[in-house]
A = this chain, B = another copy of it.
Amino acid sequence: MSHLDPVSLAKKVRARDRRALARAITLVESTRRDHRDAAEALLAELLADTGGAVRLGISGVPGVGKSTFIEAFGLHVIGEGHRVAVLAVDPTSSRTGGSILGDKTRMQELSRNADAFIRPSPTGGTLGGVARRTREAMLVCEAAGFDVVVVETVGVGQSEIAVADMVDMFLLLLLPGGGDELQGIKKGISEIADLLVVNKADAGMKDAARAAAAEYKSALRMLRPANEAWKPPVLTCSALEHRGIDKVWAAISDYRQKLGDSGDLARRRAEQARSWMWNEVEETLLRAFKDHPGVARRLPDLERAVTEGRIPAAAAARELLDAFLERARVEADGV
């Protein structure tokens, strides 16, 4: 990290300097204490210029064609006059080495486009930590003038929930047919998906895709309460052949418009901000707890005693908390 103060860096980000943007995101991704301080100062500088984008979560099982879809979608949206940032939340990326968006050969055309910015998932740490850094990267992208931010996630359950908590709407990509008719939906994702898109409706596959869409529609009717204001549309598209993407973007724009008009967008974002703050508190508090030397020293023995049933969970927790808060243990002497 070079010696650039947060105020100057913020100015360059707002001026849409791509190097500054990349550097700002590296800064918010860092876990070093001095970098965190600078990142907070940077975000405080940028905050007034954030919030303007359509924030869109995208998920789907491996093989559904997420990269192809995001590339086709991004190019279409840029063609409509927008600027598109693509971020990712992949808590597995540090373990597997490979990462969604880590492969440089993905989304080649989109990544070369001046109105696109693609950033792989931050690596390392808990899902909470990865999600926090992506949320902050999203704010930086908004301040840099990107008015559509796509947050991609791997299809592994918990990461979708984390992404749903940072976007305005959630798009679930599905495959036509393919054995497990309710793929994706089974994980409770149906409850957070605002739009379902059956991809790979390529030439020769259109009928299968339409049949799959009908099946998903009927499954959704069973799985979701009937009395909701928004009934998630189920569309088909061929990302490979760039067909149907316009209808997906139209549905997104329509939903976004409705959210804004009803005041739900403002409410949703205020609630998200509050929830981010508490996530941040919990994450940081627990990290401070685990890093505390008194806690770290006692933890292995206490954890073993608890799992072996030698001491009650609450007693072990209390001993660790007393060590953390460095208060004297008050012994029970009768009630």
The CA of A286 and the CA of B278, in the complex, are separated in Å by 10
The CA of A275 and the CA of B236, in the complex, are separated in Å by 42
Flag whether A222 is at the interface (Cβ < 8 A): yes
The CA of A274 and the CA of B306, in the complex, are separated in Å by 6
Residues of B within 8 A of A1 (CB): 335
Binary contact track A219-260/B, C-beta < 8 Å → 1, others 0? 000111000000000000000000000000000000000000
B41 touches A332 (CB 8 A): yes
Stretch with Cβ within 8 A of B (4 or more), from A65-73, A145-153, A178-186, A201-209 = A178-186
* Dominant secondary structure of chain A at its interface with chain B: helix
Residues of B within 8 A of A182 (CB): 222-223
Flag whether A109 is at the interface (Cβ < 8 A): no
A residues within 8 Å of B by Cβ? 1, 3-6, 27, 33-41, 43-44, 47, 50-51, 132, 135-136, 139, 180-182, 186-188, 191, 222-224, 269-271, 273-274, 276-282, 284-286, 288-289, 302-303, 306-318, 320-321, 324-325, 330-335
B314 touches A43 (CB 8 A): yes
Cross-chain contact of A284 among B191, B280, B306, B317 (Cβ < 8 A)? B317
Contact A317/B277 with A308-B270, A332-B40 known, Cβ cut-off 8 Å: yes
- Give 21 pairs: A residue, B residue, CB < 8 Å, sorted on A: A4-B335, A35-B335, A36-B314, A36-B318, A39-B314, A40-B312, A40-B314, A40-B315, A40-B332, A41-B332, A44-B315, A139-B312, A186-B191, A276-B313, A277-B306, A281-B286, A281-B317, A282-B282, A284-B317, A284-B321, A285-B286
Residues of B within 8 A of A334 (CB): 3-6, 38
B136 touches A332 (CB 8 A): no
A20 to chain B, nearest CB (A): 13
Nearest chain B residue, comparing its CB with the CB of A50: B309
Nearest chain B residue, comparing its CB with the CB of A222: B182
Contact A43/B284 with A273-B306, A274-B306 known, Cβ cut-off 8 Å: no
Contact A312/B47 with A37-B330, A274-B303, A288-B321 known, Cβ cut-off 8 Å: yes
Contact A38/B335 with A270-B307, A277-B313 known, Cβ cut-off 8 Å: yes
Residues of B within 8 A of A135 (CB): 313
A312 touches B43 (CB 8 A): yes
B186 touches A335 (CB 8 A): no
Residues of B within 8 A of A324 (CB): 285
A289 touches B280 (CB 8 A): no
Residues of B within 8 A of A41 (CB): 332
